Structure 1
Amino acid sequence: MRKPLTTERRLPPGLNAPAAPVRSLTSAVHASLRADILTCRLAPGEKLPVAVLAKKFDVSLSAVREALSRLVADGFVMSEDQRGFRVTPLDIEDLEDLTNTRIEIEVLALRRSMAHGDAAWEQGLRDAWDTLRQVPYALARQTPPHDGGWADLHFAFHEALVSACGLTWLMRLRRTLFEQSERYRALARTVPAGAERDVNAEHLAIFEATIARDAETASAAMDAHFRVTMELVREAVQRG
């Protein structure tokens, strides 16, 4: 027998669940759909029938509509007049726009971190890199939680690089771009790993230049890192 959707483990940190049970269910549906979209378990362009989702999660139609509306605001879902909701499609033009924008924002944040980072920032970066490099990159081609935590550690490493940026709005925009790029990275898993790519070496180059406060080399390494990923994703999108 199918169990009703539980909310406790899916709610965002700090949400006051007892005060708003309907919103808590909405948040749970939002979190579940968002995770499936980011990992492409819900495919780009896939329809999202409200009634079907309400039955799946055992919640009201209004809870599903609100969750989908929030995903529209996040850019993960599209709302079409008289046609309902569907997962936002992925395409080459959007990939290039997203990648180029992300490089601009990421490099700016990285340069600011190198300029303002203190000893604590440097140690945090060392710790993040040391933890990430111990997980085999081969696991990154698996979906969480079968990736050995690689996705979370990868996020933590890139977060540590720019954590001394000091601009809250810039970091919010950066987080949005990172999350949107995760959908494309999930698609890249379908492309056979090329022998010419060494992700650990790419990360090491970024790390070493950043620790050395070599802004030009670190920026170039970050730019190259994102563009290699873009080319792999381009191949996956063209295949799909």
Structure 2
Amino acid sequence: MAGQPLSNTIDVSGSDTLSERAATLLQHDIIAGNLAPGTRLGIVDLVQRYEIGATPMREGLSRLISRGLIIGIGQRGFRVADISREDLADITRMRSVVEMEALRLAIEHGDDAWEAGILGALHQMRRHIDRTGDEFREGAPDFDKLHKGFHTALLAACNSKRLLSAHSELYDQAYRYRRVMMRGFDSGSRFVAAHQLLADRVLARETGPAQAMLTSHLHSTLAFVYPPGQGD
């Protein structure tokens, strides 16, 4: 497997052990599409690709199995998990459970700094799209970090590290599907407007309506990638 340039989806600078670094780099390439669904993952190839030893590489692979990005195939090694409607539906279901509770708590406990964080994240995303025009697609440099930053900002005041960690992992697991959905956005202003509406509803601190809008937002990827009545 030839090495591929990494995008900005995941920051690898914080990985403080080789096994964590192996998991982070490999996850990075999977969700960025550099390693396609179903790709066989041989230890020797991975060691050469990432210049990390076989033992920490195996430990990194085990971490990604628990995150649903890699499948173990018995004695034959590993492969990148396939994508399917069932998988995306399950990710969306779990995101809804996690983010509805996180949003409820954030609205309850959020202060002025939380509100400013949401507005700041939205502003950064808008300015990026103003500069790049139609090149704001998922996978473009810097956009991934800003998009995830906005969704994280909505939940940041929930005061639960576990909820935020679960949100982060599930967001990344949906990334492969979201890249498909993003092809449907032909207008940066329309993309920003959708997120502005979501931010406005959250900042209004009306928990029920805010949760309903976020739920609709999360399900939009599933509806776009796998339209109702259409098979995998």
Which TM-score band (shorter chain)? 0.7 to 0.9
1:43 aligns with 2:40: no
The residue type paired with residue 185 of structure 1 is R
Q: After the TM superposition, which parts of structure 1 deviate over 4 Å for at least 4 consecutive aligned residues?
A: none
Q: TM-score, normalised by structure 2?
A: 0.82
* Alpha-carbon RMSD: 2.7
Aligned match of 1:211: 203
Other-structure match for 1:222: 214
1:175, 1:119 → 2: CA distance? 23
2:193 equivalent in structure 1: 201
Alignment partner, residue 6 of structure 1: none
Task: Quote the residue 1:181 is aligned against.
Answer: 174
Verify the 8 A CA contact 2:15 2:24 in the aligned structure 1.
no
Tell me the secondary structure at the aligned position of residue 78 of structure 1: strand
The alpha-carbon distance between structure 1 residues 227 and 33, as it changes in their structure 2 partners (threshold 3 A), is same
Contact 2:106 2:158 in 1 (8 A): yes
- Give the match for residue 141 of structure 1: 137
Which string of whole-angstrom CA distances, capped at 9 and with x for unpartnered residues, describes residues 102-145 of structure 1?
12221221121111111111112111111112222733325242
User: Structure 2 stretches of 5 or more lacking a match?
Assistant: 4-10
- Paired with 1:75 and 1:64, the residues of 2 have a C-alpha distance of 17
- Following the alignment from structure 1 to structure 2, what is the Cα–Cα distance between the partners of residues 81 and 161? 41
The aligned amino acid for 1:129 is: L
* Contact map agreement 1:12 1:27 (CA 8 A) in 2: no
Percent identical residues = 31
Partners of 1:142 and 1:239 lie apart in 2 by: 24
Q: In 2, Cα distance between the equivalents of 1:239 and 1:64?
A: 36
Query: What's the CA shift string for 1:80-113, capped at 9, x where partnerless?
Result: 1122100111111111121122122212211211
Cross-structure match for 2:6:
none
**Is 2:138–2:144's contact at 8 Å kept on the other side of the alignment?**
no
Paired with 1:43 and 1:214, the residues of 2 have a C-alpha distance of 41
Kindly indicate whether residue 70 of structure 2 is the aligned counterpart of residue 77 of structure 1. yes
Deviation of the 1:184 alpha carbon: 1.7
Does structure 1 retain, via aligned residues, the 8 Å contact 2:134–2:186?
A: no
CA distance in structure 1 between the partners assigned to 2:34 and 2:147 by the alignment:
20
- 1:116-131 alignment to 2 at 5 Å? 116-131=109-124
For the residue of structure 2 that corresponds to 1:133, the secondary structure is helix
Q: CA deviation at 1:61?
A: 3.0
Quick one: higher RCO (CA 8 Å, sep 6+), 1 or 2? Answer: 2
TM-score in terms of structure 1 length: 0.79
In structure 2, what residue type is equivalent to 1:228?
S
CA deviation map 1:128-178 (0-9, x unaligned):
111112222733325242xxx211111111111111111222222222211
1:7 maps to what in 2? none
Whether 2:164 is the aligned partner of 1:171: answer yes
- 1:226 maps to a residue whose letter is L
CA distance in 2 between partners of 1:121 and 1:142 (Å): 25
1:44 and 1:88 in contact (8 A); partners too: yes
2:8 maps to which residue?
Answer: none
SS at structure 2 position matched to 1:82: helix
Unaligned runs of at least 5 residues, structure 1: 4-9, 16-22
Distance 1:228 1:58 in 2: 39
**In structure 2, what is the Cα distance between the partners aligned to 1:37 and 1:187?**
14
Residues 39, 158 of structure 1: CA spacing in aligned structure 2 closer, same or farther, 3 A cutoff?
same
